Structure 1
Amino acid sequence: MGIGTAAALAGCAGGSVALAQTPRPAAAEPGQDVAIERGQEVQVSGRDLTVRYRDLVSDSRCKPGRQCFVAGDAVVSLVLTEPGRGEHTSVQLHTDRPGPHETTYAGTTVRLADVTATGDRITVHVS
């Protein structure tokens, strides 16, 4: 095998290693708000916990530009995972009554702070 062929193969091998790596989730600092796009997950810094925004389950909130008698409620589905233990749970959090606004899992409280009008991004507070 010539030097050029060996260099080309080495370059290909290096490229395949980079493709095999998965990107790390964004970090969420305890005590702060973090925005999460639908389908995205964040790792809670210093804890064995990730929070994934699965989907907008329902949305009866008053639409922008309309006048409503009640604010309505948006319900989102989250998956909370302890990667080190291989355990997870699914929860639904609400923006308004009657459902829960927050949950505690793996010693961390996750509170739903906001849902965009389109429902494709949420803001949670982790503590």
Structure 2
Amino acid sequence: MNIIHYLKQARRSANLTLQDMAYLLDMDFSNLSKYETGKKQPPARVIIAYHIITKTPLKKLFKYSLLGVIDVVSSKTTSLITQLEEEITTPKLQKRILALYEVLNNIGCLQDINEQDYDNKSE
């Protein structure tokens, strides 16, 4: 399920019409419809508003964006570590490499959280 389905599902679960939501967000009905049908990508402002109005967790609404960012940052971080480890080691370079390993650790924690969420839903 992608963000579009979560937005529509959240709104419907809150018993709000598309017109109601557009009014609450102070935006044009047709633009909001485009977000819910996938014709346009919703900006963060809209996603956060859905969270506030419908109490849908931000983690759920941002899930697919988060996964894409995790993949890119993880790949780039690993690549940069490899490049830096091939250079002559200096104290400053060692600090950078340690910081990059911490980035990978942070990403690992985020992935663990997503896996726990998935495991809890499948029980």
Same fold (TM over 0.5): no
| Greater share of residues in helix | 2
| Greater share of residues in strand | 1
Q: TM-score range by the shorter chain?
A: under 0.3
